[in-house]
């Protein structure tokens, strides 16, 4: 599988591209899709380079699933991490509300 390269002319073009992909995706609900799009939009303004060591098999799996959705694997990793952290924050918020 070859990774598709994107050369966006602007942040707006990138946002539109991922918004379209998220709406076409059957993996996430419409609500999750909107949350992810919002996160991508916010991320366009505040991306920061980071480095992480991952197992080769995990990288290959990420590339596989990213390819199924027409995403570059690093954008897919951001989406996965954003979804996970968003869910964890909601879980924490519910727990705090329950114990308040």
Q: Between 56 and 25, where is the model more confident?
A: 56
| pTM for the whole structure | 0.54
- The 10s digit of each residue's pLDDT in 30-40 is 676 666 666 66
**pLDDT of amino acid 1:** 37
CB-based burial label for 98 (10 Å; 0-12, 13-18, 19+): exposed
The set of residues, in sequence order, having a beta carbon less than 8 Å from that of 26 and lying 6+ positions away, is: none
- The 10s digit of each residue's pLDDT in 44-97 is 556 778 899 999 999 999 999 888 878 888 888 888 888 888 888 888 988 888
**pLDDT of amino acid 19:** 65
Tell me the CA distances in angstroms from 4 to 42, 53, 56, 58, one per residue in order.
23, 22, 19, 19
**pLDDT of amino acid 99:** 81
């Amino acid at each position: 599988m070859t990774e598709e390269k994107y050369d966006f002319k602007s942040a707006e073009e990138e946002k539109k591209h991922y918004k379209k992909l998220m709406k076409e995706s059957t993996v996430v609900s419409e609500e999750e899709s909107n949350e992810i799009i919002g996160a991508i939009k916010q991320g366009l303004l505040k991306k920061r380079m980071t480095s992480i060591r991952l197992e080769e098999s995990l990288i290959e799996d990420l590339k596989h699933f990213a390819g199924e959705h027409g995403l570059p694997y690093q954008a897919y990793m951001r989406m996965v991490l954003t979804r996970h952290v968003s869910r964890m924050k909601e879980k924490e918020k519910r727990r705090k509300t329950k114990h308040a």
